[in-house]
Amino acid sequence: MKRIFVLVMLFAAADVKYRQTVMKSMGAHMTAMSLVVKKEVAMRSQLGAHAEAIHALSATIPEMFPAPDKVRSSAKPEIWTHFDEFKSLSARLERESATLSQLAAKRDWKSFDAQFARVAKTCEDCHDKFRVQD
């Protein structure tokens, strides 16, 4: 019995670690793009790849939150009481990052830089509502 409990906790911890790692990877893509948008770096050629990575991952964010956490995490319990709102913020990220990726393909950098701010705001809006602030 005790052994089964430990196993369940290990799986639960791995799920949270996985999800936090995916979030961190999106954070790294955003940081890389921000250096280009702020014109500190001239790597416009990789912007499409960063935008596409975020777009590809955004579609499945709700799947990483199947049920209230059994281990410590920064996910607020409101995720599961307001799951429709959580899913719609995730869908918003999917739309905004699709636009970002299209603008990179068109090499429309002026619009890209403005759209980058909208994507960042979408991350922030979900974190403000559903992530425990440290």
In sequence order, what DSSP letters do the residues of 48-80 get, joined into one string?
HHHHHHHHHHHTTTGGG--S--SS--SB-THHH
- Let me know the angle formed at the C-alpha of 39 by 92 and 120, rounded to the nearest 5 degrees: 15
Site for ligand HEC contains 116 (CB under 6 A) = no
Judged by beta carbon, residue 95 or residue 109, the one nearer ligand HEC is: 95
- As measured in angstroms, the least distance from the Cβ of 6 to ligand HEC is 21
By three-state DSSP, how is residue 41 classified? coil
- As measured in angstroms, the least distance from the Cβ of 93 to ligand HEC is 4
131, β-bridge pairs = 75
The Cα 120–Cα 124 span in angstroms is 6
Task: Looking at residues 42 to 61 of the shown chain, list those that interact with ligand HEC (rule: CB under 6 A).
Answer: 54, 61
Site for ligand HEC contains 23 (CB under 6 A) = yes
Single out the segment in contact with ligand HEC by CB under 6 A; choices: 24-32, 33-41, 100-108, 110-118.
Answer: 24-32
With CA atoms as reference, report the closest residue to 130 among 70, 89, 72, 71. 89
- As measured in angstroms, the least distance from the Cβ of 44 to ligand HEC is 19
Query: Residue 131 has which token pair?
Result: 């992530």
Site for ligand HEC contains 27 (CB under 6 A) = yes
Q: Which residues bind ligand HEC (CB under 6 A)?
A: 16, 19-20, 23-24, 26-27, 30, 54, 61, 73-75, 86, 89-90, 93, 119, 122-123, 126-127, 130-131
